[in-house]
Structures are given as C-alpha cells and as structure tokens.
Amino acid sequence: MVIFGTRPEAIKLFPVVKALEDDPRFTPVVCVSAQHREMLDQVLDIAGIAPDHDLDIMRPNQSLDELTARLLVGLGTVMNEVSPARVIVQGDTATAMCGALAAYYRKIPVDHVEAGLRSGNIHHPFPEEINRKIIGTMANLHFAPTETAAAALKAENVDPARVHVTGNTVIDAPHWVTGRIAEQPSLASGLADIEERFAGKRIIGVTSHRRENFGEGMEGIAEAIRRIAARDDVAVIFPVHLNPNVREVMNERLAGADNIALIEPLDYPNFARLLSLAEIMLTDSGGVQEEAPALGKPVLVMRETTERPEGVTAGTAKLVGTNAEIIVTEISTLLDDKASYEAMARAHNPFGDGEAARRIVELLGHEFRSQA
C-alpha cells in the first residue's frame, strides 16, 4: 500500500507507484488521504493514477488534533480491509506519520521514502520535524535521499543495514513529466498569458505555505515581495497556497501590484514551466529546494533551518528567513552580481539522478526475496 495526501507527496511517490506498476512482482494499492484535495488531484490526473481508496479527509481550518485522529482511524480502516504486505509513506506530513503509525499498530512493515531529513529543531519545521522522527522510529526500510540523510539516521542508532541511499524521487518526477509535455505541449500552457505580460522581465518564482511562517513571517515575506517587485526589471509569479493563513496576507498586501502575478496553485506541468521561467526561486518549500537546482535555478529559502542542508552546503540554496530586509538584499545580490548568481546556478545538485524510484523498487524486491 502506497499512502499519500498532499501534492508534494504525490509528486514524490507517483514515480514509485509507476515503477511498482511496471514490475510484475508487485501490485500497488494506492490510498490517498486528500490532505490537499485540489492540489493532490492535479498530480493524480497528470500521472494517470486512480486511487484505490480516497479518504477525502480535509476540512476547513481543522486542528492538527482533528486531522491526526481522522487520519489514524481512516487509514487503519483501509489497512484492515486490504491487509497489505508493506506500507510505503513519504516525507513528513500528518498523512505519512499516521500511515506509519496505523501500520505499526498492525505489525505491517513500513518503508519510508525520503527518510533521514533532520533540521535539529522540533519546532522548525512544525510539525514536520517530529512527524519524520516518529516515522523513523517505526520504519523497516529507510530510503534516504542523500548520504547526509543516511548519516542522520545512523546517528539515531537506526540499523545501517536498513538504510539505503536512493537519491530523491523528486528528481525522477520532472524527467517523467517532461516526456509527457513533449508529447502534449498544451499540458504546460497555463502560464502563456503571464509570460506575455512579463516579457523581458526577470522572473522571481515564489511559493510559501509553512505553518511556522504564519502570521509575522508571512507579513515579512509579503513585504519583501512587494519591495523587490518595485524594480522595473523584475516580475514575481506567485502561485498562492490555498491555506487562508497565506491567502489573506498575500491578497491584502500584494493584490493589484503591476509586477506581481498572484495566481492559483499550478498543476505539476505548469509548475515545472514556472521553474524553467524563473531566474530565482524564493520558497519555504522542501521540494523546491531539490527541484529548482536540477534546472540550475538558485533557491533562497525563507526559513531559519532546513532539513536539506546538502543544498546549502553545495551552494544551490541559501537560508534567508522571513525578514524582509534580508530577503530583498539576498535577491538583489543575485540579480545584480553575476558571479554570485553563477556560483549558485552552476553548483552541483546533490539530490539525485532521476533513478530513485527504480532503486527503491529493486530494494523492495530484494527484501521480499530475503523473506521468502
């Protein structure tokens, strides 16, 4: 059983689902929580995945308590019905944590994709840092995206034989979707009008959704975007997250600005197009820290810590927090200093080569053979 519920999980797990479907040894059962309904459905559609079970769990403004309780009961009910041989979860969402816990309660082995990410601060990101640590205590196989992630697991006394460095499946996904776009260019045509509107401008792509940035952090982000977009040579494209804690601030502070396009969340092909258009990505997302460097785009991370230090070490990403002054200064440096820009754009992407899903399926096959 492969379990996911958010758009980032879907992007990172659909290559695994496809690899399992292509292997006659496996029959994947897909269960979605729909923790992000609309954004999840966009990825399912482009990937051609029809879930076997859909919990449709999301409710407006539900608390983490409510979400966790409903996920645990719902996922447990599906596991009772399906009796899967193994359960695969990804990352650090409430869906992933509850999926692992429900499987543990039933003594079903848990396989964790993107295992070993650690920020070292249980409140940043919140609640993701605790979610992934909880999953790590229960997982049977840990598919670490990098050597750094693997080392973090081993430092927590995880059996090294259970830890495998696979690369990150987020690098697999663009390879697959690029092929689809080549076959059907209209899949990535959603930004055509904005491209025309901002012709000749230097594009800054923005994504923001982190819970720990709600409130004062979002205000700082909005102020930075407003100030940087005041430059005549710059335009900002910002697919605004559906969470009202993001939307209300951004609409109040940025709506109507000439050089800012506040748009609805993009489906995956069009988001890939945004990555290709952008000169710089400004984000608090984890996935963007991995995806953008694959296209040679510098990433400024609006957080105080990151569980992806490999990008910072390699020079593909830089932590800038949510202080407007710092964000504006760092973006301006990249825009105005060619050497600084090239140093980030040409840095080696440490997150993989597009073969992670294949490696994961081979490791699962080996696990089944060893148990036979």
**For the chain, percent of residues with pLDDT exceeding 70:** 100
Residue 313 host element (H or E): helix 309-314
> In which band, very low, low, confident or very high, does the pLDDT at 181 lie, cut at 50, 70 and 90?
confident
Contacts with 357 (C-beta within 8 Å, 6 or more apart), sequence order = 15, 16, 18, 19, 169, 172
Confidence bin at 40 (pLDDT 50/70/90): confident
List, for residues 45-97, the tens digit of each pLDDT value. 889 999 999 999 988 888 999 999 999 999 999 999 999 999 999 999 999 99
Residue 219 scores a pLDDT above 90: yes
What pLDDT was estimated at residue 372?
67
Strand 299-301 versus strand 317-319 pairing type: parallel
Contacts 24+ apart (CB under 8 A), 82-85: 82/1, 82/29, 82/31, 82/52, 82/53, 84/1, 84/29, 84/108, 85/109, 85/368
Helix (H) or strand (E) holding 357: helix 356-371
Domain 2-167+355-371 matches domain 192-345 at the CATH topology level: yes
CATH architecture entry for 2-167+355-371? 3-Layer(aba) Sandwich (3.40)
What tens digit of pLDDT does each residue of 93-128 get?
999 999 999 999 999 999 999 999 998 999 988 999
pLDDT of 210 reads 87
Count, in order, helices (H) and strands (E) of the chain: 16, 13
CA distance linking residue 307 with residue 291, whole number of Å: 15
Give the per-residue pLDDT at 90.
98
pLDDT tier, 182 (very low <50, low <70, confident <90, very high otherwise): confident
Q: Where are the domains of the chain?
A: 2-167+355-371, 192-345
Residue 110 phi/psi, 5-degree rounding, is -110, 130
φ and ψ of 146, to 5 deg = -145, 165
Q: How many CB atoms lie within 10 A of CB 233?
A: 10
Q: What's the pLDDT at 113?
A: 98
Catalytic residues: 92, 114, 128, 209, 211, 241
CATH class of 192-345: alpha beta
- Residue 300: phi and psi, rounded to 5, are -105, 120
Task: Please give the residue that has the higher pLDDT: either 286 or 22.
Answer: 22
Over residues 229-252, the pLDDT tens digits come to 999 999 999 999 989 999 999 999
